[in-house]
Amino acid sequence: MTEPNATRRATIRARMEADSATIAAAIAPDNTSEMATRLESADDGSTAIVTRIERETTGGLHSTVDDYVVNLDVATSVATVAQHGRTNDTDINTQ
């Protein structure tokens, strides 16, 4: 049985093709006091955004992780468009 005040934890590690530092800076303002985001260098020279989330309840952890992943996806899309002028799927055409 789980203790009533036990902490639930999740660590999300995402390697990015776009600028990791820019993406990490874009999502950091949404971090709560129960979240910490850092950059981590890999042996292959790539950089990962690593975020650790702690919450008191499983439901709270699930909700926070879900929100974080959506924010990460949006920030990655914006950074990709800014860096390459297109999304991963299609070129952006203005009319």
The tens digit of pLDDT for each residue in 46-85 reads 899 999 999 999 999 999 999 999 999 999 988 888 877 7
Residues found in the chain: 95
Ramachandran sector of residue 38 (left: φ over 0; alpha: ψ -120 to 50; beta: rest)? beta
- Domain residue spans of the chain: 8-84
DSSP 77: H
**Which CATH number is 8-84 given?**
3.30.70.100
The tens digit of pLDDT for each residue in 1-54 reads 455 667 999 999 999 877 899 999 999 999 999 999 999 988 888 899 999 999
Task: Please report the pLDDT score of residue 87 as a whole number.
Answer: 54
Rounded to two decimals, what is the model's pTM?
0.78
